[in-house]
Amino acid sequence: ATDHSPMVAAGRAVFLMASSAVTLTCGNVCVLCNNIVSFNLFKILSFQSLKVILTQESLLVLDYRGLSLERWLVLELAPQLASQTHSLPFEFRALEAILQHKVNKLQTWLNDVEPSILDTLESLVDPKIVSADRSKLHFLLQNSKSLSELETDIKVFKESLLKILDEDAMIEQLCLTKWTDPRIFEESNLGIDHCEEMELLLENYYMQAEELANKTRELKGLIDDSESVIFINLDSHRNVMMRLNLQLTMGSFSLTLFGLIGVAFGMNLTTAFEDDPRAFWLVTGFMFLGSGLIWRRLLSFLGRHLHPSTPSLVIQTLQFHYTTLLYV
């Protein structure tokens, strides 16, 4: 009577039984859906891009997207479900296969993103670098975008698992074999309960997803921390350069100040010293010595004011050279 239009939107479906896999067209799906539904022993599950109808002995995958998923469904999942090595009921094996596939995909994604982020951060945080390499920044930005998407995916996956785990009734419903096979049902009331095992299985994958979520969160935190360190590094370099610049500006100021004396004596105006042979040496000496002293005074003020640590070495060397120059 009623149709299930919200369940069959894209019209692509794969029907997997324990022994075979068939790709279905939209029409077939609807027929099949109604058949399954009429048997009354089915469970609809949805994980992001995957909607499945799980029965006791078949798995109907609806509305999947992407070719790689189809290939996996037909080429890998089908034989895996067909193999009879496991002693577990069909619905367990099907669910485990789907969850394992999903977790593997997320894990692979994280494995792709993590090392490249760590490498990029490692090279960006390097304290010797004056300016950040912009191509690496761009790369980091794209990776952290990818990381956000991964985080969302893991979150959605966790939520869909949690929705099942939070309702005991839903887990009961998932143990389809238990309700059809009287032998299993009796066993269940003894020690080995299907529901408990189903809960363990789902919890196991929830824990794996949780672990992935923790790793992505740590990675995001590391990116934030590294950015702070990059900022402090860049700021520190700037401060060091600014101090060197200030020291040189002090030197230039001193030289300009005392150079003015030279300029004054260079004017075509009459001074009393034109013919005094000592005047040249006195004035020149005064110029160089005076600028040297003022510079030294300025530097020592800066030194007292800013408590310099290491890079004043060059200035000391320079001053030494300057002083040497004066005495040569």
Site for its own copies in 96-155 (CB under 8 A): 125, 127-132, 134-135, 137-138, 140-141, 144-145, 148-149, 152, 155
CA angle 178, 179, 183 (to 5 degrees): 55
> Is 10 or 232 the residue whose CB approaches its own copies more closely?
232
Are 216 and 148 contacting, i.e. CB atoms less than 8 angstroms apart?
Answer: no
The strands making up 13-17's β-sheet, listed across from edge to edge, are 21-24, 13-17, 58-62, 50-55, 42-47
Q: Which stretch binds its own copies (CB under 8 A): 16-24, 61-69, 104-112, 287-295?
A: 287-295
Q: Nearest approach, Cβ of 21 to its own copies (angstroms)?
A: 24
- Of 242, 289, 316, 320, the one binding its own copies by CB under 8 A: 242
Q: Nearest approach, Cβ of 151 to its own copies (angstroms)?
A: 8
**Contact string (CB under 8 A) for its own copies, positions 5-44, x = contact:** -xx-----------------------------xx-x---x
Q: Which stretch binds its own copies (CB under 8 A): 18-26, 63-71, 108-116, 293-301?
A: 293-301
> Rounded to an integer, what distance in angstroms lies between the CA atom of residue 130 and that of residue 198?
56
- 71 interacts with its own copies by CB under 8 A: no
> Is 22 or 234 the residue whose CB approaches its own copies more closely?
234
DSSP H/E element including 45: strand 42-47
Residues 251-270 contacting its own copies, CB under 8 A: 251-253, 255-260, 262-270
> Is 21 or 315 the residue whose CB approaches its own copies more closely?
315
> Rounded to an integer, what distance in angstroms lies between the CA atom of residue 34 and that of residue 1?
9
Q: Please choose, from the candidates 83, 69, 91, 84, the residue with its C-alpha nearest in 3D space to the C-alpha of residue 23.
A: 69
Dihedral sign, Cα of residue 249, residue 252, residue 253, residue 254:
positive
Q: Can you give the C-alpha Rg of the chain in angstroms?
A: 39
DSSP state of 310: S
> Rounded to an integer, what distance in angstroms lies between the CA atom of residue 17 and that of residue 288?
97
Q: Which stretch binds its own copies (CB under 8 A): 19-27, 63-71, 107-115, 315-323?
A: 315-323
- Of 195, 294, 296, 319, the one binding its own copies by CB under 8 A: 294
Are 286 and 294 contacting, i.e. CB atoms less than 8 angstroms apart?
Answer: no
Q: Nearest approach, Cβ of 14 to its own copies (angstroms)?
A: 21
